[in-house]
Chain A
Amino acid sequence: QKEVEQDPGPLSVPEGAIVSLNCTYSNSAFQYFMWYRQYSRKGPELLMYTYSSGNKEDGRFTAQVDKSSKYISLFIRDSQPSDSATYLCAMSYNTDKLIFGTGTRLQVFP
């Protein structure tokens, strides 16, 4: 079993839809949880960073962490074609060494 599981997609939604991206993990020692967005042939861009259970909101993005279920989510409201990218979840213990999910490809069509 992988430490971090993420559905690779692709996920295709119409513009304006609410997108839900998810990751599950097996190791309860993870303390930091992140979501990155990666456009083709570019480095990942940090979208959300959290270290506790609960919700964190930033503009159209909401990150949700449920440590009891070992489950994290990223919600994108009012999705735009510019949101089309690969979204990577990442987690770490009390270090900077990240464990990544495989990434979910999202396509938002006009």
Chain B
Amino acid sequence: GAVVSQHPSRVICKSGTSVKIECRSLDFQATTMFWYRQFPKKSLMLMATSNEGSKATYEQGVEKDKFLINHASLTLSTLTVTSAHPEDSSFYICSASDTPGKLFFGSGTQLSVL
């Protein structure tokens, strides 16, 4: 299957700092990527849809200014958590599709804000 690479796998930061997470499609081009958030023992919650060359589409309740998404190329999308606070601590996962309806996920990033 298609490979989606996500970095870093784990990040610990101080409250008030910004953190950038990268998501790359390694063997295919992705005009659309998706960013999810997952709390312990819970299912995935879609945060936003990242569109190459245009603004991201955010799900209801997700703060656009808090979670900045940039999809600068067909193989790279980034999620920046700005002015992170402890409540932003979570597992963030990106995904991309090479076939309609068929999503492949990155390995995830565990964010811990102290």
Contacts and interface: CB of A to CB of B under 8 A. Distances in A.
A37 B97 CA distance: 17
Interface string A74-110: 0000000000000010101011111011110100000
B61 interface: no
A32 B102 CA distance: 8
Interface string B36-61: 00000111101001000000000000
A96 B108 contact: no
A46 B93 contact: no
A100 B97 contact: no
A96 B93 contact: no
A110 to B, nearest CB: 24
Contact of A41 (B32, B42, B44, B110): B110
Interface string A35-58: 010000111111001010000000
Interface of B: 1, 4, 6, 32, 34, 41-44, 46, 49, 91, 93, 95, 97, 99-108, 110
- For the complex of A and B, list the 4 residue pairs with the smallest distance between their C-beta atoms, beginning with the closest: A32-B101, A43-B105, A96-B97, A92-B101
